[in-house]
Amino acid sequence: MNYRSNAVALGAILAAAALAGCASNGPRPDEQIARADASVAQAEQAGARQYSGIDYDKARDKAKEARRLADVGKNDSARMLAEQAELDAEFAAAQARAKTLQKAAAEVAAGTQTLREETTRPVMP
């Protein structure tokens, strides 16, 4: 091959690679980002910031990064990060609900113990 045919072949390869890169990038993941944002909001309402701070922060940060990636056209990465954010937020919310229920159960147990002590205390005439 001569120089000209090598340049044409290289140009064709680069064009094909560019088209393949665009084709694999997919549409903007607005729906996934919205679901991630909604899950983060629900996790916060469930008390995840207080009871599962690290997981909540990871979910919030991933959702924020997913929006940034989508804004610069990295849609596949944004979609993947938004899906991770949604799962992290759901996990943080579940942990927060579990800890809230554990706290409530401990309060009920303490109240029950107080009632037992009251019923076994001798009555003064």
If one compares 80 and 24, the residue with the highest pLDDT of the two is 80
Examine the pLDDT at 23 and tell me if it is beyond 50: no
Summarize the confidence of residues 5-15 as an average pLDDT: 57
- The predicted pLDDT at position 43 comes to 97
- The predicted pLDDT at position 44 comes to 96
Task: Give the model's confidence band at 75: pLDDT under 50 very low, under 70 low, under 90 confident, else very high.
Answer: very high
If one compares 113 and 42, the residue with the highest pLDDT of the two is 42
- Whether this prediction's pTM lies above 0.75 is answered by no
If one compares 17 and 72, the residue with the highest pLDDT of the two is 72
Query: Which residue type is seen at 15?
Result: A
- The predicted pLDDT at position 40 comes to 98
55, 36, 59: which is closest to 98 by C-alpha?
Answer: 55
Percent of the chain scoring above 90 in pLDDT: 61
- The predicted pLDDT at position 14 comes to 58
Q: How far apart, in Å, are the Cα atoms of 93 and each of 7, 51, 66, 107?
A: 56, 9, 20, 21
Percent of the chain scoring above 70 in pLDDT: 80
Whether 49 and 60 have beta carbons less than 8 Å apart is answered as no
Q: How far apart, in Å, are the Cα atoms of 70 and each of 23, 38, 73?
A: 15, 17, 5
